[in-house]
Every structure is written in C-alpha cells, then in structure tokens.
Structure 1
Amino acid sequence: MQQAEDFRAESRALAAILEELPEAEFHRTTQFKDWTIDHVLGHLHLFNAAAEASLKGEEAFAAFIAPVLQDMHTGKSILECQFPWLNGLSGRALFQAWRQGAERCADAYATADPKGRLKWIGPDMSALSAITARQMETWAHGQEVFDLLGLQRQEQDRIRNIAHLGVATYGWSFANRGRDVPEPAPFVQLTGPSGAVWEWNEPQGGNFVKGSAVEFAQVVTQVRNAADTSLQVAGATAQKWMRIAQCFAGPPETPPGKGSRFTAKA
C-alpha cells in the first residue's frame, strides 16, 4: 500500500528533527496538554505496535491491548496507560525504539490487503484506514514537536491522505457529540503543497471550505484553531464543522483555543 510508505515517510520526517536532539530536550513540554516530546514518542510507539499486532489477527491484538484497556477502565488517562507498556523506556532509547517500530509497522502494512478488516479499540477498520490513521497521528503529534523546536515542516502531497480522512469524518465530528449531522456536507477544495487541487463533495456556492490542504489537516486533527488559518469557510454548516472537526477516534475533544498553538521562535 502506498499509504504504508506515506506513513513511513511521515515517521522519518519526524525522526529527522530528533536525530541529534540531546537527551534532556526529550523532556521539554509541548503545547499539547503539557505532554513532553518523550510522551509523544511513547504514545506513537505504543499505537504503532498495536496496529502491527492488529495485522497479526484478532487474538494477537486482544492480547496486546488488554492491559491498556484495563488501565483505561480504571480511569487512567491515555497518557498514563502507556507507561506500564514502555516499562521505563524514555529519551533517546525510546526514540530509537519508536523509529525501529515505525519501520516494522510500515513494512508489515506495505504488503497487506488494503481491504482486510482489522480489530481496533473502536470499530473494526480496513488495513488501509488503519495505516492512514497511523500517518495522521504521527503527523498531528509531530506538529507539537515541530512547534516546540521552532521548525517548519517541509510538507508533501501525502497530506492528501489526512485531508481525505478529515472529509470522511465530517458526520462523525457531529455524531460523536450527539448532534444531528447537517446535510449536505460542505464542498471542500484544497490545494496541496505541490499546487495540486483536490475536491470533495458537490460544489455549493454558500457552503464550502477552501484553502490550504495543510491548514485543513491542522484543523481536523485539532493542532490549530480554524481562526488561526487562512481557510475560506462559507455558510453556517461549514463554520459549525470547522469549530468541532475531529478526524480521530475517541470521545469528543475540544479544539485548541485561538492563538494557543503556534510555531515557537527558534
């Protein structure tokens, strides 16, 4: 699957800015819920391994995820749930383990059946959706690392995978909050880093989202407030969507406040 190679490239882009990072820097706090870079890598490493286990079959995934789910059921946060599995792994040692694990995960999905159904914490999903979700999460959590280090990521057209996920989860963003899903879904027209233009849904003069694919991805992954982007958002439906857009699974999350997420000055 090309999406497996896109996930690999996303992981390598994040790894490249951490390659020479001193040990102490891994414990700096990001703008995301006070997570450190170490916390981010631990989270990505755990769920990359979970995705790899899922590809091995239902029993393998159930055995892998059982301790995590048990901790969740006792009220622990998603961050706290990763610590027993990591077993003290942190800093540069965690960085190396995450990087190697990401390569293994990419290798495993590269030859998988895209339509194969896989178990997950939430609903079952296709292998294609599973590895796209890994790219999305790597890109989204990578953003807080780029922001903290004062770096601009060199974006590529593989961002289309994340933008597509954002469009596909339009209904989920509302339903997950117990709201009726407004119809029709807005027309979405985005420009990729290469200048390519991508479109979703039927064109509608007063109901659309247009602009940068990167900025759209930032909004649907909740790494930026829509008001901090240059996206053109027309109509009440599109505006409601951009205020709550959430392309990832789990309970409803509140997008970052205006001006709260930004690239620090290097």
Structure 2
Amino acid sequence: MKNDTALDLLAEYRELAALCDTLTAAQWRAPSAFYDWTPWDEIAHLCYFDETALQAVREPERFVSEAAALNARISGGAEFSAIQRETFGQLDGPALLALWRERHEALAHELSLLAPTARLPWYGPLMSARSFASARLMETWAHGQDVWDVMRRRRPPTARLKHIAHLGFTTFGWTFANRRQPVPEIVPHVALRAPDGSIWEWGDAGSPHRVSGTAEDFCLLVTQRRHVHDTSLEYTDGPVSDWLHMAQCFAGPPAEGPKPGVRQLAYAG
C-alpha cells in the first residue's frame, strides 16, 4: 500500500508554486503579516525544510546528525529567517521557486513510494510516512496563506484541508502540554463544514464541549494564521475556548498567534 497522502501534498505544492509564478519582483519582496516575512522568505523556508525532508527519506542517519546541529543553532539564538537567507540568499524569487519545485517534486515522489506506516526521522519523535506528508502539507498550506495574503487574494478551499483539520484536532492536548498547562480531561467534539458542504467530525459526538464552523476557518486558526475572533467558529466556554485562543498544530515551542484584527485583510478579488 502506497502513501496516497503524498498525492495531496503534491497538489498543495503545485497550487502554491503556480501562485508564485504570478508574483512580480515587488511582490516577492513585500512583507506579510507573518513576522514581516516576504513571499521569498516563505518559499525559502519551505525549500529549506523540503531539502531536509528529502534527507530524512534518503539519508536518515545524516539527517539526525544535521538536525541536532540545526537545533543547536536555533537554541543558540539563530533565527530560521537568517538561516534561510544564508542558504538561498544568492537566488532571486524565480530562481528560488525553480529550486523549490525541484525539491518538492522529488520529495512528494519519494513519499508516494513509501508504505503509509514507514517510519521517518524528523525534528522530534519518529513519524509515519503518512503523518510526515500531512505535516509537510500543513506547513505548505500555512506559509502559502501568507503569500495569498500578501497578494490580497482569497484562496479557494479544497478537500486537502481535512489533513490540517485532523492535525488541529489531534493536537488539542499537546497545545496545553506544550505550554506546561494541565490538559483538560475532555474529548471535544469538532464538526466542520467541508468545501463541498459535507461535515467532517472528530471526537465525542455526545460531548458538551464543542466547536463548529468552516474547515477553512478552523485550519486558519490552528495554523495561527487568524485569531479565533476573526473567524466564524462557534464554540463552548471553558476548555474549548481556552484551546482555541492558543491552538497550535505545528511542532516547536509555544507560539503566539496574531492579535484580533491583525490578519483580517481586504481582498482584491
């Protein structure tokens, strides 16, 4: 059985690459609301970690060694944005995009050949190939949102959101634990309206602790691209409200999402 999630990952890559094909020189350098990263920074970030992901697939022992060195640099105060510029700074936007295309096409292909349960190293515990592909899809979608925001364009939602929503739900407890807070002893019910109008559900359908709304809003929230107040999500007070005000579906130390209103952009079309 092959890793079909890699096909969705490839589609996500190609959609963002096609958008970047339309960027002007000025847009490549325009700051986004994500720490003032430009589209160049966003693609450099994806390219860097798609390169390391390829290494994790092809040379896992070397990856583990170099991942430890990267973690040491970050712990010592280095910033991802500076490392990316150090690595790719000689490339302009179109050249960087061409390199990223080469890397992500290769990664998606190699992941597609693996069994979904194959184990791969990453920056933390080993991951299944399916989860690995889902995590790369989530990061591509999240950083892609920053590019869409720079262009002030609304991205059409797709069924690929289900991978991100699943990560959002499964990181409920981790969001608290990562902040050294007690994990609520509940299983929330999450019911999201998919782009095709169907309902995706997770958790205990009988739970009094609930969140509902569009899958797009939920994914924007858990990737910290929108504040909960800037979505149409409906949710119960207590543990679910606490969760949604700090939800984080990506690995790493606790991150602070945008303040209310900061990323409610006017779309050009």
Using structure 2 for the length normalisation, give the TM-score: 0.94
State the Cα deviation string for residues 162-212 of structure 1 (Å, max 9, x = none). Answer: 000000111110000000110212111111101121111112463101110
The answer on whether the counterparts of 1:41 and 1:95 sit within 8 Å (CA) in structure 2 is yes
State the Cα deviation string for residues 194-232 of structure 1 (Å, max 9, x = none). Answer: 112111111246310111011101111100001111111
- In the alignment, the residues of structure 2 paired with residue 219 and residue 256 of structure 1 have an alpha-carbon distance, to the nearest angstrom, of 10
- In the alignment, the residues of structure 1 paired with residue 235 and residue 168 of structure 2 have an alpha-carbon distance, to the nearest angstrom, of 15
Secondary structure, in 3 states, of the residue corresponding to 2:137?
helix
Identify which range, 201-210 or 239-248, moves more after superposition: 201-210
Instruction: Please tell me the residue identity of whatever aligns with 2:75.
Output: H
Give the corresponding residue for 2:205. Answer: 203
- In the alignment, the residues of structure 1 paired with residue 37 and residue 159 of structure 2 have an alpha-carbon distance, to the nearest angstrom, of 28
- In the alignment, the residues of structure 1 paired with residue 28 and residue 235 of structure 2 have an alpha-carbon distance, to the nearest angstrom, of 37
Secondary structure, in 3 states, of the residue corresponding to 1:68?
helix
Give the corresponding residue for 1:36. Answer: 38
Secondary structure, in 3 states, of the residue corresponding to 2:235?
strand
1:53 aligned onto 2:55: yes
Percent of aligned positions that are identical:
39
Give the corresponding residue for 1:175. Answer: 177
Give the corresponding residue for 1:158. Answer: 160
Count residues with an aligned counterpart.
266
Instruction: Please tell me the residue identity of whatever aligns with 2:161.
Output: I
Give the corresponding residue for 1:102. Answer: 104
Pick one of 141, 144, 147 that aligns with 1:145: 147
Pick one of 183, 195, 207 that aligns with 1:193: 195
Give the corresponding residue for 1:17. Answer: 19
Give the corresponding residue for 2:92. Answer: 90
The answer on whether the counterparts of 1:191 and 1:212 sit within 8 Å (CA) in structure 2 is yes
The answer on whether the counterparts of 1:27 and 1:36 sit within 8 Å (CA) in structure 2 is yes
Secondary structure, in 3 states, of the residue corresponding to 1:99?
helix
Task: Give how far 1:121 is off.
Answer: 1.5
The answer on whether the counterparts of 1:163 and 1:213 sit within 8 Å (CA) in structure 2 is yes
Unaligned runs of 5+ in 2: none
- In the alignment, the residues of structure 2 paired with residue 87 and residue 108 of structure 1 have an alpha-carbon distance, to the nearest angstrom, of 27
Instruction: Please tell me the residue identity of whatever aligns with 1:238.
Output: V
Secondary structure, in 3 states, of the residue corresponding to 1:255?
coil
Instruction: Please tell me the residue identity of whatever aligns with 2:27.
Output: E
Give the corresponding residue for 1:253. Answer: 255
Residues 118-137 of structure 1 mapped to structure 2, 5 A cutoff:
118-137=120-139
State the Cα deviation string for residues 105-142 of structure 1 (Å, max 9, x = none). Answer: 11111111211111112222111111111100010111
**RMSD, aligned α-carbons:** 1.6
- In the alignment, the residues of structure 2 paired with residue 196 and residue 49 of structure 1 have an alpha-carbon distance, to the nearest angstrom, of 36
The answer on whether the counterparts of 2:27 and 2:151 sit within 8 Å (CA) in structure 1 is no
Unaligned runs of 5+ in 1: none
Q: Displaced runs of 4+ in structure 1, greater than 6 A?
A: none
